[in-house]
Chain A
Amino acid sequence: MTTTTQRVRRVLARPETGALIGALAVYAFFFAVAPTFRQFDSLATVLYQSSTLGIMGLSVALLMIGGEFDLSAGVAVTTSSLTASMFAFQLTLNVWMGVLVALVLALAIGAFNGIMLVKTGLPSFLITLGTFLMLQGLNLAVTKAITGHVATDSIRDMDGFDQARDLFASSVSIGGTGIRITVLWWLGFALLATWVLLRTTYGNWIFAVGGHRDSARAVGVPVTFVKVSLFMLVGFTAWFVGMHQLFAFNTIQSGGGVGNELLYIAAAVIGGCLLTGGFGSIPGPVIGAFLFGMVSQGIVYANWDADWFMFFLGSVLLLATLLNLYVRKQATTRRLT
């Protein structure tokens, strides 16, 4: 066995390789069938859609590597933006105050999930399902009680809005194409998360608690701290994406976000994270989110009948995942023989 083939196999066995091959295949496919898809402008649209999903996908993937789920992540995004918007509007404050309060609340929701999980020992699926439903109800009830409507008032003309929009929802022109800033944040966060996961003790702890919680505790990993902080990290990204939505769309409808939690988990799983925990990577969910964005916009660029949209989306994702599985199996079985 030569070192080159060993190296190739090691690369193929990585969690994200299959997703990458799947993504390339999907890219080539839409490149062939949809002329509009080839333009750089279209790639920017795809990247934008992938970025908000992708930012959440990063923290959800870390949480999954740590062995837990968060079903409340989708509505937590809406909770954050509603909080920021209403707090600033109702008290007529600089919008940054709202942004800060929303951050505190989002982290608190994450901490609540984590502490409940550790204290009760119940599966995170149940705990966060409860939080998910509670937040969904709160989003509507509190918004209705405070504003009298189901959507928040526009905060576009308030102090600090322009600054905040620059940070969360502006566009950067690269070669004449407007790239949304969330794309840059997404890639930036991904680099940071990769470094944390692979180069720090904390990163090792995440793998350890996701693999074997009890063994991890036995060798001195602070399991409670790791789990709670991972949930808070999901809270942080939910806040970030929530702020993007607020400053990109000025008002927020209280019913939003429901169902998105599954897309975040999907991005992580397509990217090779195992549902059982302990295995995964950061490039994985990045590619997973990109694949999702590519398929969902590509279908429209290709002008396929909208009635078939969900079917195409599901089947392309399934094919990409199967490819992922196949590639990894090939790589790992050959190593054994």
Chain B
Amino acid sequence: MKRAHRSALAALVAAGALLAAGCSSDSGGKAAQDRAEEGEVGQADTPRMTVALITHGAPGDTFWDTVREGAETAAHKSNAELIYSSDPSVSGQANLIQNAIDQDVDGIAVSLANPEGLSGAIAQAREAGIPVVGLNSGMDAWRDLDLLSFFGQDEIVSGRAFGERLDEIGAEHTVCVIHEQGNVGHEARCAGVAEAFDGETEVLYVEGADMPSVRSTIEAKLRQDDSIDYVVALGAPFALTAVDSVADAGSDAEIATFDLNTELVTSIEEGDIQFAVDQQPYLQGYLAIDCLWLYHTNGNFSGGGEQPVLTGPAFVDGENIDTIADFARNGTR
């Protein structure tokens, strides 16, 4: 009995192994991802330093993960240890800055979603003699907060560029989908679009944390008003969801979005999504950390405390997607 069981088990395992070997995929999957990954980058021989990157990103957000990738690369090259932390609420982010001060880091990079609210914590960091650079949002406030440099895109400017692009394409009626109620940057983007766009722009609020609800809300909006011919999303995951909504609603609206991620690249290649305005999050994270290193080792910084370093807007569409696709698949665009 026992032996019969054992040989049956052996046969099963063997069959399973054969099956798994025979069924291996020739394309995609982890193997393709590994192939695409670049070799190790070099490292500076400057003394070890510690820098903190404190963002307002929600955990698991692809955008902020790309920022972090850039920051990690810069930190690695600079022989620096990167402490990454994030909290979407102002009070939480202020606490994290305090936390970095307690740890006596050599530099802080911070995204200024609510500059006014962070002013106290940043002033304390400055008092403690820690250099602070800004990134991503807070373009109009970083000078007043006595930051070294700022790396990001002007949301209003990129919104306007988006609106102008819609005019060129000949769109007439867009709906701008805001997935985070009360986010100043999102409002600024939609305001920029509305300002530059000659047609009609409507704002639609969706519950960003709940994708099924995003999908059905956009669908409902498209059904309710069939004159909408362009859906403007403010983040890649939401643009991808909008593709489903458009299909469900039987609408012939097209989709364009702010920000980029891996799947979005495929959708642009396949023509499901027309274009994306990229603010190059990787570059923001990279430059911010690199700036702290340069300042620490050589006293350099960009912009003279007056001018921001603009990382966008960069348009990604069917024409230039090939050059960007590989990088995006690495999670670095």
Contacts and interface: CB of A to CB of B under 8 A. Distances in A.
Interface of A: 36, 39, 41-42, 45, 48-49, 52, 136, 139-140, 143, 149-151, 154, 156, 245, 248-251, 253-256, 297, 300-301, 303, 305-307, 309-310
Given A245-B91, A253-B184, A254-B181, A309 B59 contact: yes
Contacts of A143: 182
A139 B120 CA distance: 25
A253 B83 CA distance: 27
B307 to A, nearest CB: 24
B315 interface: no
A250 B182 contact: no
Contacts of A251: 114, 116-117
Interface string B26-40: 000000000000000
B59 A45 contact: no
Interface string B51-84: 0000000011000000000000000000001011
A256 B99 contact: no
Nearest to A143: B182
A300 B85 contact: yes
Given A36-B103, A41-B102, A150-B183, 5 more contacts: A36-B102, A42-B102, A45-B98, A255-B180, A306-B59
30 contacts: A36-B103, A36-B104, A39-B102, A41-B102, A45-B98, A45-B102, A149-B184, A149-B187, A150-B183, A150-B184, A151-B114, A156-B116, A245-B91, A248-B91, A248-B94, A249-B114, A249-B118, A251-B114, A253-B114, A253-B117, A253-B184, A255-B180, A300-B96, A300-B99, A301-B102, A303-B81, A303-B83, A307-B60, A309-B85, A310-B59
Contacts of A300: 83, 85, 96, 99
Contacts of A249: 90-91, 94, 114, 116-118, 120
Contact of A140 (B101, B120, B182): B182
B95 interface: yes
Contact of B181 (A36, A48, A150): A150
Contacts of B95: 45, 48-49, 297
Nearest to A37: B102
A143 to B, nearest CB: 8
Contacts of B116: 154, 156, 249-251
A299 B59 CA distance: 15
B200 to A, nearest CB: 19
A84 to B, nearest CB: 15
